[in-house]
Amino acid sequence: MTQGIKAAAVILLAASLAGLSFAQNDAAALYKTKCQMCHGADGKGQTPMGPKLGVRDFHSPEVAKESDSQFFSITKNGKNKMPAYNGKLTDDQIKDLVKYIRSLK
């Protein structure tokens, strides 16, 4: 491998990792502004609004077994007292939110 190709590979790798970090930070900011009020920072729904609205704990076995596409659909279209984010968030933003929610511990 020549030096130029090695340098290009390193730059591409760094750009890819930066993109992942940006998407994660972006999703965290979205979660904080759109979801955290009801679902809480940890996703357990133990907030002043959570129990009143019947917010689901993202760590519960029922929620954990739902597919990412089910999560996506609920976020996009709403369900019960969960508002729809269709037209408010892009599909990519919703996908990033689903990934972020899955990473909550």
Range of 90's domain?
Answer: 3-103
**How does pLDDT run across 6-44, given as a tens digit for each residue?**
544 445 444 544 444 445 579 999 999 999 999 999 999
52 sits in which H/E element: helix 50-53
Mean pLDDT of the chain: 84
Kindly write down the DSSP assignment for every residue of 15-34, as one continuous string: HHHHHHHHHHHHHHHHHHHH
pTM over 0.75: no
Kindly report the CATH number assigned to the domain that includes residue 60. Answer: 1.10.760.10
